[in-house]
Amino acid sequence: MDLPIIPRKRVAIVEIHGAIGTAIRSQVFVPMLKRLREDDRTRAVVLDIDSPGGSASVSDYLYLELQKLARKKPVISFVRGTCASGSYFLACASSRIISQRSAIIGSIGVMLIRPEMQELLAKIGVNVAVTTTGPYKGMGLPFRGMTPEEERKNQEMADRFFGHFVDVVAEGRKVSAETARAWATGEVWWASEALELGLVDELGDLERATAYAAELAGIAEHVESVRPQRPIAQRLMSQVAFAWTRAAGSEIERLLSSRSRW
């Protein structure tokens, strides 16, 4: 009689690689984080971070989901390369941040980017007419410069999220608001400098992060990488594209081999 296979308890590794809002999208990451939160096999989670940051709103949304996860099981952050701006925002949801020694940490701050195209459009003879229903409705359009009132409103928005960012860092790193604000100059530090300042807890590798997570969870170390589930159409298209690419590569190699002479 075959004995039933009992799934092993695991430490799940979640990759936070690339820009938040494009490579890291809430539409796919939030459901994955929810599944990890409800999964009995997953006893701890390690965030494998290599990201320059990105969208403020997406960062905040993912941070809330990571907080929910961290209330149920240990969440540890490992910094592989860059942990800056929005990705440091996410790391503050974890109970410990472990960084490899040559990583870049920080960039605590906010910036709003808006291209201005009115001079370019004027050079090519294009004029854009805009009709709005309020004084701020067209704020941010690249077809014209901003009014002083719009500039003030834009600065208010940046300052408001900046204050929120500082509060998140202070809470996550268990420091005073004054200390967190002193870090929030927008600059980045080498990992050793970040360790001295208190932005990270220790220097180490991914194995150290997973071992620490397993220790906190009270389980034998068994690690599995977890990735967001892609829609089936996207997965099928990827498989087809891979098959075509492999077939094309094989044909090119065959033609080159047939023409080669020693």
Does a structural domain hold residue 35? yes
- The DSSP secondary structure of 99-146, one letter per residue, reads E-TT-EEE-----------HHHHHHTT-------SSTTTTTT-TTSPP
Rounded to whole angstroms, how far apart are CA atoms 49 and 89?
11
- Rounded to 10°, the helix 26-38/56-72 angle is 10
Residues 15 and 79 in one domain: yes
Whether residue 164 is found in the same domain as residue 99: no
Q: Does the structure show a pLDDT above 50 at 66? A: yes
Residues 137 and 167 in one domain: yes
Report pLDDT for 140: 77
Q: What is the pLDDT of residues 7-54, one digit of tens each?
A: 789 999 999 999 999 999 999 999 999 999 999 999 999 999 999 999
118 and 49 together in one domain: no
Residue 135 and residue 47 in one domain: no
Q: Tell whether 61 is covered by a domain.
A: yes
Q: What is the pTM of this model?
A: 0.82
Q: Annotated active-site positions, please?
A: 85, 137
- Evaluate whether residue 254 is within a structural domain: no
User: How many angstroms separate the CA atoms of 136 and 134, rounded?
Assistant: 6
**Residue 262, domain member (yes or no):** no
Whether residue 179 lies inside any domain: the answer is no
What's the distance, Cα to Cα, between the start and end of the chain in Å? 61
Residue found under tokens 């990451």? 29
Residues 120 and 95 in one domain: no
* Residues of the chain above pLDDT 90, percent: 67
Assigned domain for 253 exists: no
Which residue segment(s) compose the domain that 144 sits in?
113-173
Residue 161, token pair as written in the block: 């999220």
Q: How confident is the model at residue 138 (pLDDT cuts 50, 70, 90)?
A: confident
Q: Which residues contact 117 (CB under 8 A, 6 or more apart)?
A: 142, 143
The predicted pLDDT at position 116 comes to 82
Q: Are 158 and 195 within one domain? A: no
Locate 32 and state its tokens.
């994955």
Q: Predicted confidence band at 170 (pLDDT cuts at 50, 70, 90)?
A: very high
- Which residues lie across from 223 on neighbouring strands? 11
Instruction: Answer yes or no: do 95 and 205 share one domain.
Output: yes
Q: Are residues 45 and 79 in the same domain?
A: yes
Residue 19 lies in a domain: yes
67 and 126 share a domain?
A: no
Claim to verify: residue 27 and residue 93 sit in the same structural domain: yes
pLDDT band at 135 (very low <50, low <70, confident <90, very high): confident
Per-residue pLDDT tens for 241-262? 556 667 676 666 655 555 544 4
- Which among 106, 90, 104 has a CA at the least distance from the CA of 46? 90
Whether the pLDDT of residue 108 is over 90: the answer is: yes
Domain boundary among 144, 173, 202: 173
Residue that is last in its domain, among 149, 173, 197: 173
Which residue in 82, 83, 70, 69 sits closest to 35, CA to CA? 69
Q: Do 213 and 150 reside in the same domain of the chain? A: no
Higher pLDDT, 249 or 146: 146
**Coil, strand or helix: which one is 184?**
coil
Residue 181 lies in a domain: no
Scanning the chain, the segments in alpha helix (DSSP H) are 26-38, 56-72, 86-91, 118-123, 148-173, 177-183, 191-197, 206-217, 232-259
State the total domains in the chain: 2
CATH number at residue 19: 3.90.226.10
What pLDDT does 3 receive?
53
